[in-house]
Structure 1
Amino acid sequence: MSFDDAYDALLSRWGVPVDQLSINGTHVNACGPLDGRPVVLLAGHGATSPVWFAVAPRLAEHHRVYAIDLLGDAGRSTGRPPRSTNDLLTWLTAVLDGLEVDRPHLVGHSYGAWLALTYALAHPDRVDRLSLLDPTDCFTGLRPAYVARALPSLLRPSRRRTLSFLRWETQDLPVDAQWLELAALAAEQPRSPVARPRRPGDDALRHLRPPLLVITAGHTKTHNPERLTRRVTTLIPTATVVPIEAATHHSLPALHAAEVLKALSH
């Protein structure tokens, strides 16, 4: 199966009408009522926007949902990739402007969570709410063992190496086979270096304005979830932290959609 076929197959499982939009070369999969409150979904690096297949259709019952393929990453976005954090923030502002979305609920997973948080810190007036799913490079660093295990698939990306890495991290959980295949094929798609995450400083985090929800994965191999929770609640006492104990980093969001949706609804 080709990458495009795998992308379309997973997108077809959304089960609702999906508008495939292009905003200056950025591909956006949109669904839900046009007058619904906007929710913007930012996937992790290499995951592509169809990964929200179990979440987006339910959100679309009452919201206008926009799932974005990150520029420079696997997916259907084209154009010059952002090389710096400022480039990335300028790009996201342009996408939101093109969608005519003013203050969305930003929902991000992994790298997408870092992007959502960084954007909310830089442009708090453009974000209504902020929800981060097992965020990386936001409050704590990555575990050395995770980085070491990920390196082969990053330095010499291939379908086989990515499958091996994802199966290792998801620890025999019944991760959706179609998404797993799409993520593995994504590793072999042409990609450009994306803006490298820089963790926000403590003072910036203390002054975060939009209401914050953090969903942690109890069995993540990415970082220490207990330390992540302590950092969030210490720096941002108003934040809501919801643990999903059975989750790993890469089993989110699809395998735990019911728990994710319940958290997002509050």
Structure 2
Amino acid sequence: MLSARTAPFLAAYDALLARWPVPVEALTVRTAHGTTRINACGPRDGRPLVLLHGGGATSTMWFANAAAWAGAGHRVLAVDLIGDPGRSVHDGAALDGVPGLLGWLGAVLDGLGVPEADLCGHSYGGWIALEYALHAPAGVGRLALLDPTQCFAGFRPGYLLRALPLFLPGRPPARARAYLDWETGGGPRLDPDWRELYALGYADFPASRVVTGPRPAPDRLRALTTPVLALFAAGSRTHAPARVAGTARHALPAAEVAVLPDVSHHALPMAAAPEVNQRVLDFLATARS
């Protein structure tokens, strides 16, 4: 619901969405938890590619990726996570932990008429995508993970110390901007419009409590038959990228794993878009053949 508190955030959201270089169709699906917004593009009869953003990032973060994937024939469905800043409205039942979160995503896909889809998730969205593939393997054809967190290793202690202030009272936008600027470090700068949207959402959007859980146990990962692409950001400060990539290769020997140079965790989908877009397209095409 638009209010004086959320109006600047929603205006920034709409402005960034307007920058997508392809026509975007705004879809909504009502579930027991509330109304979910999906920004869709690409041919309606294309194979569904569901995009799950990182915490606080909103589905608008895919502005540098959606056109390439839609142009290759995919029906791109970029979901606003319910309870997170965005245009989804969490005005129904509580998610009630990881089962509730996965049930919500399943209900969204049912509402869209998508019995099976490819999933692509960044950061926290990568963890959700992986958990959903483990939860409902028949519903996931291929799985692309972009610098996923809590999938193969935990967070660096230093990162947690930097992120802790985000959860303290007050929540001024400057705090979120400083956090993003620290994480990107000396790498490519974040898109200024997205950076500001993130800061406004952090400060002004009435988000729900984040639902998360432990990393998937090794035996659960070994049982995963879904083809996986995992791309890590060499400059990520959330974890030790090379070490996490090695863990991913060990846990999923059949997966395609790579570390992309000169890019940070938050900037990966945007600043490294040409390589990310092509790697994802190649992976989806290879897995389909």
- TM-score, length-normalised on structure 1? 0.97
| 8 Å CA contact 1:44, 1:108 repeated in 2 | yes
Quick check: 1:19 aligned with 2:60? no
Match of 2:84 among 73, 77, 94: 73
What 5-or-longer segments of structure 1 have no aligned partner? Answer: none
Quick one: distance in 2 between partners of 1:209 and 1:8?
Answer: 38
Structure 1 segment 82-101 matched on structure 2, within 5 A: 82-101=95-114
Q: Structure 1 residue runs of 4+, over 3 Å off?
A: none
Secondary structure of the corresponding residue to residue 45 of structure 1:
coil
Deviation at residue 101 of structure 1 after TM alignment: 1.0
Matched residue, 2:154 = 141
Quick check: 1:190 aligned with 2:206? yes
Matched residue, 1:162 = 176
Quick one: distance in 1 between partners of 2:17 and 2:80?
Answer: 13
Quick check: 1:177 aligned with 2:192? yes
Secondary structure of the corresponding residue to residue 60 of structure 1:
helix
| 8 Å CA contact 1:139, 1:200 repeated in 2 | yes
Secondary structure of the corresponding residue to residue 265 of structure 1:
helix
Q: After superposition, what is the alpha-carbon deviation per residue over 1:106-142, rounded to whole angstroms, capped at 9, x for unaligned? A: 0000110000000000110000000000010000000
Deviation at residue 262 of structure 1 after TM alignment: 1.3
| 8 Å CA contact 1:212, 1:240 repeated in 2 | yes
Match of 1:47 among 57, 60, 69: 57
Deviation at residue 218 of structure 1 after TM alignment: 0.3
Quick one: distance in 2 between partners of 1:13 and 1:242?
Answer: 29
Quick one: distance in 2 between partners of 1:204 and 1:171?
Answer: 35
Quick one: distance in 1 between partners of 2:162 and 2:29?
Answer: 36
Deviation at residue 54 of structure 1 after TM alignment: 0.5
Matched residue, 1:8 = 14
Deviation at residue 255 of structure 1 after TM alignment: 1.4
**What one-letter code is carried by the residue in structure 2 that aligns with 1:76?**
R
Q: After superposition, what is the alpha-carbon deviation per residue over 1:149-196, rounded to whole angstroms, capped at 9, x for unaligned? A: 011112233211000000000114221000000011010210110212
Matched residue, 2:287 = none
Secondary structure of the corresponding residue to residue 65 of structure 1:
strand
| 8 Å CA contact 1:83, 1:193 repeated in 2 | no
Task: Compute the RMSD of aligned alpha carbons.
Answer: 1.1
Matched residue, 1:59 = 69
Secondary structure of the corresponding residue to residue 53 of structure 1:
helix
- TM-score, length-normalised on structure 2? 0.90
**What one-letter code is carried by the residue in structure 2 that aligns with 1:68?**
V
Deviation at residue 197 of structure 1 after TM alignment: 2.7
Secondary structure of the corresponding residue to residue 187 of structure 1:
helix
Secondary structure of the corresponding residue to residue 261 of structure 1:
helix
Matched residue, 1:32 = 42
Count residues with an aligned counterpart.
266
Quick one: distance in 1 between partners of 2:109 and 2:265?
Answer: 27
**What one-letter code is carried by the residue in structure 1 that aligns with 2:20?**
W
| 8 Å CA contact 2:242, 2:259 repeated in 1 | no
User: Mean Cα displacement is larger for which, 224-233 or 63-72?
Assistant: 224-233
User: Mean Cα displacement is larger for which, 130-139 or 192-201?
Assistant: 192-201
| 8 Å CA contact 1:83, 1:194 repeated in 2 | no
| 8 Å CA contact 1:26, 1:77 repeated in 2 | yes
Quick one: distance in 2 between partners of 1:120 and 1:45?
Answer: 19
Quick one: distance in 2 between partners of 1:50 and 1:147?
Answer: 25
Secondary structure of the corresponding residue to residue 133 of structure 2:
helix
Identity of aligned residues (%): 48
Deviation at residue 45 of structure 1 after TM alignment: 0.4
Quick one: distance in 2 between partners of 1:56 and 1:197?
Answer: 29
Quick one: distance in 1 between partners of 2:213 and 2:274?
Answer: 29
**What one-letter code is carried by the residue in structure 1 that aligns with 2:39?**
N
What 5-or-longer segments of structure 2 have no aligned partner? Answer: 1-6, 283-289
